[in-house]
Amino acid sequence: MKTTEANIDGIVGSTHNYAGLSYGNIASEKHAFSTSNPKLAALQGLEKMKFLHDLGIPQIIMPPQPRPALHILKSLGYDINNAPDELLAKVYSASAMWVANAATISPSVDTADGKVHITPANLVSKFHRFIEVPTTANYLKQIFPEFVHHEPLPAHLLYADEGAANHMRICNAHGETRTEIFVYGEKTNKFPARQTLLASQAIARLHKLNPAKTIFLKQNSAAIDAGVFHNDVIAMSNQNLLIYHEMAYYNELEEFSGTIKKLKILERELPLSEAVSTYFFNSQLVTLPSGKMVVIAPKECEESNNARNCFKKLVEEGHIETVYYLDVRESMKNGGGPACLRLRAPLRDDEFATVNRKFILNSEVFYLLCQWINQHYRDKIHPSDLRDPLLMRESQIALSELKTILEST
C-alpha cells in the first residue's frame, strides 16, 4: 500500500522571544535579548507549510502551547508578578514551535507489530523545553488517535531524548528495506550532548524495531562543540539518500552498506562553522508526488557561496531536482531552521485517513490562520516585555480563538 510522508509543523506561539535559553545553540545565544517579531515568525512558518502543501506534501498542524506556563510557576511557589526574570523567560518560551524535538515516530512498516509507534521526547536537557512534554504528548494523541503512544522516557539525563532531531530513516521509494538511524552524543569539552545512547536504544526497543536494521551513530564531540546540538544541524536524509558533513560522526558511515546512498560534504566545500551558521543540513529533503526529490532550504544558504555551491553540485549530479530557498529568519535567529519546524510521519494511506482532520492544513485553514496571526500577534517582543501584564492575556485569548478555528474547519 502507498505510503504518505506527512509533516507535522508547529505554529509559532505569540510569545516568541529571544531570551537565549539554549546553551550550545550558537544562534540562540548570539541573538539573546534582541527584539523578536512573533507575528512575522508565525507567518513565515505558516507560509513554509503552505509552500510544501502546494507541492503536494501533506501538512499537519501542531498548535502552540499555553504560555506562560502558570502551573510551573505555581509549583515553584511563584506567580507571574514575582517570578525571577530567568524563570519567567522559560515559562514564556515558544520553543515548542520546533516540533522536530517533539517525538520519535516509527512507521508501521518498520515495527514488529505492524503499528505506528510514537514516543514523546523527554527534553530533560533544557528546562524550558522539558515543561512542554505533557502538552506535546496530549497534542500527539489528539492528532493521531489510532497509533501506539508511549510515555516519555524517564526524566533523567541518563535517558536524555530530544526526538526526531537525532533520528533518521532510510528506505527505498516504496518504503521497503528500511533502516532507522539513531544519533547520540557523549562527553564534550564545551557544550553538552543532548541525546544519549541509552535513550536511543530504549526507543528502538519500545518501537519494536528490527535490531538488524537499526543503527546507532555517535556524534563527533568536536561538532557538538562547534554548535551541532542536534544531528539535524549536520545531516539530512530522505528515502535512501543521506547527506552529511565529514565531521558529523565518530564511526565512519562507509562501514554501513545496503541501501544507504551516502553523500559526504567535505570541510573544504562547506566549513563546519558555515554549515552551522547557514543551517545547510537543517533543510528539508522531501519527495514530491511526482517522485522528484527537492530541498527546502533557509535563505541563509542562498546568501552563502559555499552552501549554494554545495546544493548546486547536488542538483548537477542528479541527487536532487531543485532547491527552494525560504525565509524563516525569525526561527533561524533563535536556532531553528526549516527542518526544526517539522516532525515527519511516514504513514500508509489508510493510516493517514485516521489523522484528526481538524489538524490538517488546507487553503481555507491557511487563510484563517493568517487572519488569526495578524489579529492577535505582536510585531515586537523584547525579553523585558515578558513583564507586561497584557501579554499573558493576549496569549490566552489567541490560543482560545485558535481552538475555535481548528474545531470549526
In the chain, the amino acid numbered 55 is L
Query: Does residue 2 surpass a pLDDT of 80?
Result: no
Query: Does residue 315 surpass a pLDDT of 90?
Result: yes
pLDDT recorded at residue 31: 85
Measuring CA to CA, how many Å separate 196 from each of 166, 169, 333?
A: 10, 18, 27
pLDDT recorded at residue 93: 97
Structure confidence by residue, pLDDT tens digits, 180-208:
999 999 988 899 899 999 999 999 999 99
Structure confidence by residue, pLDDT tens digits, 50-88:
999 999 999 999 999 999 999 999 999 999 999 999 999
pLDDT recorded at residue 386: 96
**Selected residue with higher pLDDT from 90 and 174:** 90
Dist CA 93 CA 85 (whole Å):
12
pLDDT recorded at residue 250: 84
Q: Which helix (H) or strand (E) holds 366?
A: helix 363-376
Query: Does residue 166 surpass a pLDDT of 90?
Result: yes
Dist CA 34 CA 14 (whole Å):
16
Q: Is 310 a known active-site residue?
A: no
CATH of residue 66's domain is 3.75.10.20
Instruction: Choose, from 117, 167, 340, 351, the residue flagged as catalytic.
Output: 340
The model's confidence at residue 255, banded by pLDDT at 50, 70 and 90, is low
pLDDT recorded at residue 316: 98
Dist CA 52 CA 224 (whole Å):
30
Is there a contact between 197 and 216 (Cβ–Cβ < 8 Å)? yes
Average pLDDT over residues 203-219: 95
- What angle, 0 to 180 degrees and rounded to 10, lies between the N-to-C axes of helices 363-376 and 389-408? 160
Q: Residue 218: which domain range?
A: 3-408
pLDDT recorded at residue 48: 98
Worst-scoring range by mean pLDDT, 218-232, 247-261, 323-337, 385-399? 247-261
What are phi and psi for residue 56, nearest 5 degrees? 100, 15
Cell matching residue 282: 537543517
pLDDT recorded at residue 141: 98
Dist CA 122 CA 328 (whole Å):
26
Query: Does residue 140 surpass a pLDDT of 60?
Result: yes
pLDDT recorded at residue 177: 64
pLDDT recorded at residue 195: 97
Query: Does residue 256 surpass a pLDDT of 80?
Result: no
Dist CA 233 CA 228 (whole Å):
6
The count of domains in the chain is: 1
Q: Is 230 a known active-site residue?
A: yes
Helices (H), 248-298: 272-278
Report the alpha-carbon angle 224-227-233, nearest 5.
85
Dist CA 221 CA 247 (whole Å):
9
Q: In what order do the strands lie in the sheet with 293-298?
A: 284-287, 293-298, 322-326
Dist CA 342 CA 365 (whole Å):
18
Instruction: Choose, from 128, 230, 245, 376, the residue flagged as catalytic.
Output: 230
Average pLDDT over residues 299-306: 98
pLDDT recorded at residue 85: 95
Measuring CA to CA, how many Å separate 149 from each of 118, 143, 206?
A: 5, 11, 10
Dist CA 79 CA 315 (whole Å):
54
Phi-psi region of 384 (alpha: psi -120 to 50; beta: other; left: phi over 0): alpha
pLDDT recorded at residue 1: 61
Instruction: Choose, from 31, 53, 132, 162, the residue flagged as catalytic.
Output: 162
**Selected residue with higher pLDDT from 173 and 18:** 18
Measuring CA to CA, how many Å separate 364 from each of 39, 151, 180, 203?
A: 19, 34, 36, 37
Query: Does residue 144 surpass a pLDDT of 90?
Result: yes
Q: Is 162 a known active-site residue?
A: yes
The closest alpha carbon to 373, from 66, 18, 48, 42, belongs to: 42
Query: Does residue 296 surpass a pLDDT of 80?
Result: yes
The closest alpha carbon to 206, from 229, 170, 180, 168, belongs to: 180
Query: Does residue 257 surpass a pLDDT of 80?
Result: no
Is there a contact between 7 and 60 (Cβ–Cβ < 8 Å)? yes
Q: What percent of the chain has pLDDT over 90?
A: 88
State how beta strands 167-170 and 148-149 pair.
unpaired
Handedness of CA 399, 403, 408, 409 (dihedral sign): positive
Q: Which helix (H) or strand (E) holds 63?
A: none
Structure confidence by residue, pLDDT tens digits, 350-381:
999 999 999 999 999 999 999 999 999 999 99
